[in-house]
A and B are shown apart, each in its own frame.
Chain A
């Protein structure tokens, strides 16, 4: 067997697997999006672009799109900025830094769904502590069922997801910061640069490729967020937290409309792939770790 054949044989099982569990389901979903799919084994019928028209024409779609954009904006901002601040803090030569870095990994290792359960618990007026704390320091006058309020529900479903994701961002920023050669920072110090000047002139340019990676990942996770919302509010109160993935779930599994659900899924998938492809092109050959 030649090297070429050997390489192909080694790669083939994985490639076939990916075709079976990503390629074919992807194409099948695309096909469903142009069909009416019955609940039984009866054959599906082609309906052209009816499913897309149905999804886009539904007024709950527009509402959901607006909520999703609000959610994503808050989520990306919080997860990215907090992540950057955590990384900069844990890059300082402080005592206890080792323990703090171990702490940093905990929210990331906590599954998003569990972060949702925990935050729901934390802000609950019956069993949680946040109400008690806010009450004691005088921020609120009475215990509040936060998730029953449209705006607070959005805020806290964002916070729960961002609590997990800020750690993820920080881990990546920290990895990038650790490849920044110390001599460059020291040289800037010797030249009399202030901390802010060092950040703007040296640190920030260094981590910019990683910033792009983190923002893109966070945008995609924001647009596709399902777990915290499902466990905390199920999309409510009303439709206040009905993100597009919640709408997708309803189409597929509540209304059992495989066609319309697939149309929405295809649109979400295309957006996700496009956003990350554009980022990959923008990034070019820049290595975010510069190692």
Chain B
């Protein structure tokens, strides 16, 4: 027998390798299994989705749930569900993109300043960013609620963007400052020697080189904004997609399968973004969050 001719250390090593691969399979199940029935149901008719025992694969696959949402239709059994989901997805994109743009403009300049210049209060500025990073959003919601209510900005896209800057801007500044710190000062100095102004040096020299940092910050901010639930729940009337998904309640008043399709549509953009920019995101996460 082959195994007799193998020495014990070799056998041990093979056993360990087999265990590691088994662990890898378990890990994949942990990640993917929760998605399975959701994605599965999103391609089913409402009647098939409640079959007992559940079908592991749709027997009569249908795109009806998706087409109802994407066409903004009234889904069978649910009033205006499709239209609400489509509108909310659009708002989520709008809020996310506006939040990213505001973050890059405000955070880019501030991070560059904190990386390169010392001025009266520069240490205080940096510590105030760190402090702002530590203030949990839920702790200051009351002030936002009263202020937006008095300004008539409850359920406003722009109101939500302003609120989202409170927890995203510190992340942007920390990620970008970290990135700028890694770029040699000689770059700025060479540009200045060549006759560029300090602003030109930032825009024409540093900005293009720091692109990976900007991509990382933009991704992190978009992900935070896309998934934010508490403020969207309390400061809007289901404006963006998270409170719309959470608001699907009393499941039997509409059909489950539309919720499944809506949830799939809501999870695809952030997952795709994270996968496409994986390298940037992971680096930004490690350096901006952990440092």
Binding site for B on A (CB under 8 A): 3-8, 10-11, 13-15, 17-19, 21-26, 28-29, 32, 37, 41, 85-86, 89-90, 92, 94, 96, 100-119, 121-122, 126-129, 132, 135-136, 143, 163, 167-168, 171-172, 174-176, 210, 213, 217, 220, 224, 226-227, 230-231, 245, 248-249, 252-253, 258, 261-262, 265-266, 268-269, 272-273, 276-277, 287-289
In this complex, the member of A15, A19, A108, A248 whose beta carbon has the largest number of chain B beta carbons within 10 angstroms is A15
Would A113 and B245 count as touching, CB distance under 8 A?
yes
In angstroms, Cα B212 to Cα A271, docked, is: 35
Indicate whether A265 sits within 8 Å of B34 (C-beta atoms), given known contacts A7-B122, A129-B56, A273-B134: no
Would A252 and B271 count as touching, CB distance under 8 A?
no
The interface residues of chain B, by DSSP majority, are classed as: helix
Would B140 and A15 count as touching, CB distance under 8 A?
no
Give the nearest-CB partner of B48 in chain A.
A127
In angstroms, Cα B236 to Cα A253, docked, is: 12
Chain B interface residue number, banded: 35 or more
A183 CB to nearest B CB, Å: 22
A260 CB to nearest B CB, Å: 10
Note all chain A residues with C-beta closer than 8 A to B227: 110-114
Please tell me if B4 contacts chain A, counting CB pairs below 8 Å.
no
How many contacting A-B pairs (Cβ < 8 A)? 283
Note all chain A residues with C-beta closer than 8 A to B40: 129
Note all chain A residues with C-beta closer than 8 A to B37: 121-122, 127-129
Binding site for A on B (CB under 8 A): 20-21, 23-24, 27-28, 30-38, 40-41, 49-50, 52-54, 56, 105-107, 109-110, 112-114, 116-122, 125, 128-129, 131-132, 134-136, 138-147, 150, 162-163, 165-166, 169-170, 173, 198, 223, 226-230, 233-234, 242, 245-246, 256, 259-260, 263, 266-267, 270-271, 273-275, 278, 281-283, 285-287, 289-291
Note all chain A residues with C-beta closer than 8 A to B140: 22, 25-26, 28-29, 265, 269
The interface residues of chain A, by DSSP majority, are classed as: helix
